[in-house]
Amino acid sequence: MATDAEELIAQSTPEDAPPFSMELSQDQQDIRDWVHGFAEGVVRPAASEWDEREETPWPIISEAAKIGLYGFESLAQFWADPSGLTLPIASEELFWGDAGIGMAIMGTMLAVAGIFASGTPEQLGEWVPQCYGTVEDPKVGAFCVSEPDAGSDVSALRTRAKYDEAKDEWVLNGQKAWATNGGIANVHVVVASVDPELKARGQAAFVIPPGTKGLEMGTKVKKHGLRASHTADVFLDDCRVPGSCLLGGKDKLDERMARAREGQAAKSQAAMRTFEVSRPTVGAQALGIARAAYEYALDYAKERRQFGRAIIENQAIAFALADMKLEIDAARLLVWRASWMGRADHPFTNAEGSMSKLKAGEVAVWATERAIQILGGNGYTREYPVERMHRDAKIYTIFEGTSEIQRLVIARAISGVHIP
Ligand SMILES: Cc1cc2nc3c(=O)[nH]c(=O)nc-3n(C[C@H](O)[C@H](O)[C@H](O)COP(=O)(O)OP(=O)(O)OC[C@H]3O[C@@H](n4cnc5c(N)ncnc54)[C@H](O)[C@@H]3O)c2cc1C
């Protein structure tokens, strides 16, 4: 049976997409202000504490669940906006509050996106609510693709999934690396190789239901930034799941692998499009960090006095702030453009989704570094938030496709040449 959220999504088809406009509707402004209020009142005051603790901020996730910000309904509401802008706007505001806590709240979306990308409507209805849990007992989800020897090159996955026909079960074995919420998630979505000879075309995504034997958390990673977000290895040791846990179903997988064995062209456009659609949301998160650092540095530069004047009265500082504002707004335009294109079903001829994530990620690293410089010694301490923002920003040139991989995707798209 379709949930309210599924119905909300189904009602909003790409045909509804309005022309691109930067004039926000009243609904978009209301959502922006609502998320901003939560980011300012709840997230930001807790940011330093959870960064130091390096633990999942469950009380904050609970608060977000209570107000309806954490859960499938809010995600569906953001996604249902036919202009495509509500999700990046909400993401920017949340990550403006704090990126570590922001990722603790938004990390589940990775698993949900994985279920959306390959699952049937029945699978979506069954597993997505379990990723989030309930308001009284919120849960998180994890999306496990990366492995120790397969990061940028996801075609090299070693985790194997074998079908046990007699029991109609899949048996998974392997090691996943770097999984956000890995091992603490209620639902893990695991990408594994069914036929390694077919590389990426022989891979499939599986749901590992709560409490499944054979899934164990490995080492929890101690990170440079995003420390309120849990990252860990996940081990799969004869991990058995029902046949129905293969996302999309066995018939579809068999057909796809048969086409690949016959040497038929891959529907690579579809996979590529999935990334192009999801990358602007990641860019919007980076944008939130960059804007937070810029605003902090601007206020500081007006207050801090040296040589008898506010430091902003020096062109070196004023121009740095002008450049920060310029780059952040330019990145936002790319993020909004790609978000609108994704929702309106426009072809990403020049890899516009990758462009937006690349630009926003690099702007976030650069702008947070500039902010430290503007704060001087204070900027380098944990007493001031820009140091944490800089550490948090760095991940945006690494995960969801490194900056080099984004450039590769863009270069291939603009040239039509298969650059290796
Ligand atoms: C905090 C954090 C959270 C994460 N969360 C998740 C998660 O939830 N789920 C998940 O599956 N993964 C997750 N990841 C993994 C992340 O997606 C990978 O780290 C990322 O894809 C890069 O892979 P790698 O670390 O193995 O680097 P590598 O692929 O080893 O790359 C190392 C360097 O080589 C460069 N390089 C590689 N190939 C090329 C090429 N062809 N051309 C030019 N340069 C190249 C890269 O750009 C990079 O600079 C997370 C990682 C971190 C740090």
Q: In this predicted structure, what is the pLDDT of residue 1?
A: 40
| Residue of 147, 327, 362, 400 marked active site | 400
Task: Specify the amino acid at residue 188.
Answer: H
Q: In this predicted structure, what is the pLDDT of residue 270?
A: 61
End-to-end CA distance of the chain: give it in Å, rounded: 45
Q: For residue 312, how many C-alpha atoms fall within 13 Å in the half-sphere facing its CB?
A: 13
Report whether 47 contacts 57 (CB < 8 A).
Answer: no
Among candidate residues 150, 174, 146, 152, the one with its CA nearest the CA of residue 161: 174
For residues 242, 247, 152 and 351, what is the CA-based torsion angle, rounded to 10 degrees?
180
Average pLDDT of adjacent 10-residue blocks, the chain of 420 residues: 52 70 94 98 98 98 97 89 95 98 96 93 96 97 97 95 98 98 98 94 96 97 98 98 97 94 71 83 98 98 98 98 98 97 92 98 98 98 98 98 97 95
Q: How far is CA 234 from CA 117, 171, 223, 413, in A?
A: 22, 15, 17, 34
Tell how far the Cα of 415 is from the centroid of ligand 1, in angstroms.
Answer: 24
Give backbone dihedrals phi and psi of 191, rounded to 5 degrees, phi first.
Answer: -95, 125
Is 6 in the active site?
Answer: no
Q: In this predicted structure, what is the pLDDT of residue 269?
A: 58
Q: In this predicted structure, what is the pLDDT of residue 79?
A: 86
Q: In this predicted structure, what is the pLDDT of residue 75?
A: 87
Among candidate residues 390, 364, 191, the one with its CA nearest the CA of residue 282: 364
CA 286 to chain centre: 10
Pocket of ligand 1 contains residue 397 by CB under 6 Å: no
CA distance 352 to 20: 15
Pocket of ligand 1 contains residue 146 by CB under 6 Å: yes
Phi-psi region of 295 (alpha: psi -120 to 50; beta: other; left: phi over 0): alpha
Pocket of ligand 1 contains residue 221 by CB under 6 Å: no
Q: In this predicted structure, what is the pLDDT of residue 9?
A: 53
Q: In this predicted structure, what is the pLDDT of residue 131?
A: 98
